[in-house]
Structure 1
């Protein structure tokens, strides 16, 4: 098995075409709404990148579903990217965008609570176990590769069980963001959060019942086989917005978590490193959850056109008002007001030709199909 995992990682190193080291350029470097100078602000830039929670393949964790795989190497990269993008939202909500990780320790308690939500154990609310088994309800066997939209649907369902963060995850459809549906979604999820009792390792919080942090995921298709150049500037503009939580995407069967750009290159965190699972406990060693290398980059033109933009509305003391969606409207009109930057539609009302809006419900976590599926495509 170790030899097989090593083979996968060697394939990844060949195909990823990543660019090491930051360029010696005067062009601004944007990372999740923050702008840096690569020459004069390199230390601050690297501190920002290193502070993002980095989730990779793991091995030797308890078998998923009791009898399933004990490693996600070769199939879990999009799930790990989903974990990273959700962790970014939780960090911004609980600690603030200005928070920075320190290798010498001394992190706040909220940081450790966030990290525990993603540990590789069945009772952590956003663990690989929970995500893989929730994916069964989306038609994905445990061990099957996910796309951006599927992992977004899984995160939306798992967030309903998270009492501590009370995060509302809304996933748009058909390249359209519907303000009316988001408002309805808020009012419905309020009762779900207040009724749900704690069943995972994520603890309760005393949040105001009228406020919820919003994570808005917009799955997009920005081309057929390759990204259409008309979308490139719009994609770059998204990374400049302070509400950005990044982009899920990559190449076919090769997922990355994109956090920014410099020039015509995207900056990303790569989950394709297999590490041993970390034992849960009060003193979790968090060194392996932060990528201390120079951030990897790839040319924007190499991006697969199937992506998911992720934005948060976590402000006003950490929460977005349920009844006032004006912040969300302004958020996207900032992009759409610029010529040729329309990647999706923003509408006030639910389109009449669409099926009725389906309220979110807490699904039962599927435990069937826990055995490793036999991939029908090449695994990287």
Structure 2
């Protein structure tokens, strides 16, 4: 009897597991590789694993590595927040993945600035006040500075309807504009044009001005197209170098209409945080406390072959001080510009004379009711063709 009973329980459990997986896969039909990821932990290898400028030995430093990943602010789809613009969507499931990735890269910049790259999240809730303030910037309500509400409405000015999918370049433009409304952080956001970072424009116009001669912390975003339909393998080593730099904020990208926040790599695989899970919106309690458990990803990180990356990406870097920026320029010269046959991007001292003059961002007038949200999904999957092709 005993054995027989166990056999039944086992069969039932197997069946239950199978149905759970089938349901899970049905829900995430666009994530074909999800099944292998569920079963798959970190690889057992001597190769170093890099996360946002930090190097790890997978075997010896597994718990440190997981704690680092878990400490990143993780933003996902949410549902049941107050409607965007009063009459718009109350969930961003299906369209907000790149906006969530944009939130993650910006949150990482703010964490590096206020808490430091070495800061770790404590799940029992003992946090510095700055951590709480950073999280508040991203809550799903209209008056949070970098909320899904603010981002979607700022996107209307970039020609995107609320509910339309954004590419990496659009999200960079939205972050640049929203940063101007942030009263707490005077963050300078520079988005490169034509794969070219202009040192003079950053130092003279962006992080300094007549009014503030001292250096403002810099969020540097470099939108790139690393190939035509697939990533050109010549860029892969340079891409890895970006994750090794201490200034690294990772990379926005993914696959068409599927955005991920890439935070590192091991061997030929990229490591990323995935926004494609829908959680309930979180209300902040009296006194501004927030239950923040759902803002930290509690599992082994996702991995993806670097060759499956869509060629449209945006690289992110954070330079808190002018020394950080100088050292970043040095690393780019040495690791990216000198070594590669095909340059990933250019770094130039002076503003190119044939370019229009560089205009530092100023606060735009925001006129939107939120009624401009998308009515049908037909528009959702037109791919973004706003990138110049690199180095043709």
Q: Which category describes the TM-score, using the shorter chain as reference length?
A: 0.7 to 0.9
1:190/1:59 CA distance change after superposition, 3 Å: farther
1:8/1:165 CA distance change after superposition, 3 Å: farther
For 1:73-222, what aligned pairs fall within 5 Å after superposition? 73-186=93-206, 191=211, 210-222=214-226
Supply the distance in 2 between the matched residues of 1:215 and 1:300 (Cα, whole angstroms).
25
Is 1:286 the equivalent of 2:306? Answer: no
Q: Which has the higher helix share?
A: 2
Give the counterpart of 1:306 among 298, 308, 312. 312
The farther-off stretch of 285-294 and 16-25 is 16-25
Supply the distance in 1 between the matched residues of 2:164 and 2:157 (Cα, whole angstroms).
13
**Residue in 1 aligned with 2:387?**
none
Residue deviations 1:195-249 (CA, integer Å, cap 9, x gap): xxxxxxxxxxxxxx61310010000000000000000010011101110000000
**Residue in 2 aligned with 1:61?**
81
Supply the distance in 2 between the matched residues of 1:57 and 1:187 (Cα, whole angstroms).
32
User: What RMSD, in angstroms, separates the aligned Cα atoms of the two structures?
Assistant: 2.2
SS at match of 2:219: strand
Q: Which has the higher contact order (CA 8 A, sep 6+)?
A: 1
1:18/1:91 CA distance change after superposition, 3 Å: farther
Q: TM-score, normalised by structure 1?
A: 0.88
SS at match of 1:292: coil
**Residue in 1 aligned with 2:263?**
259
1:250/1:16 CA distance change after superposition, 3 Å: farther
Residue deviations 1:62-110 (CA, integer Å, cap 9, x gap): 0000100000000000000000000000000000000000111101110
**Which residues of structure 1 form unaligned runs of 5+?**
1-5, 195-208
Give the counterpart of 1:275 among 259, 275, 279. 279
Supply the distance in 1 between the matched residues of 2:183 and 2:209 (Cα, whole angstroms).
11
Q: TM-score, normalised by structure 2?
A: 0.85
Supply the distance in 2 between the matched residues of 1:265 and 1:248 (Cα, whole angstroms).
15
State whether residues 245 and 328 of structure 2, in contact with CA within 8 Å, keep that contact through their aligned partners in structure 1.
no
**Residue in 1 aligned with 2:239?**
235
For these two proteins, the number of residue pairs brought into alignment is 353
**Residue in 2 aligned with 1:10?**
28
Larger radius of gyration: 2
SS at match of 2:310: coil
State whether residues 247 and 328 of structure 2, in contact with CA within 8 Å, keep that contact through their aligned partners in structure 1.
no
1:74/1:214 CA distance change after superposition, 3 Å: same
The farther-off stretch of 279-288 and 106-115 is 279-288
State whether residues 18 and 297 of structure 1, in contact with CA within 8 Å, keep that contact through their aligned partners in structure 2.
no
**Residue in 2 aligned with 1:320?**
322
**Which residues of structure 2 form unaligned runs of 5+?**
1-23, 382-392
State whether residues 269 and 295 of structure 1, in contact with CA within 8 Å, keep that contact through their aligned partners in structure 2.
yes
**Residue in 1 aligned with 2:4?**
none
Q: After TM superposition, give the deviation of residue 367 of structure 1 in Å.
A: 1.6
For 1:298-377, what aligned pairs fall within 5 Å after superposition? 298-314=304-320, 319-320=321-322, 326-335=326-335, 336-340=337-341, 342-373=343-374, 374-376=376-378
Supply the distance in 2 between the matched residues of 1:239 and 1:187 (Cα, whole angstroms).
23
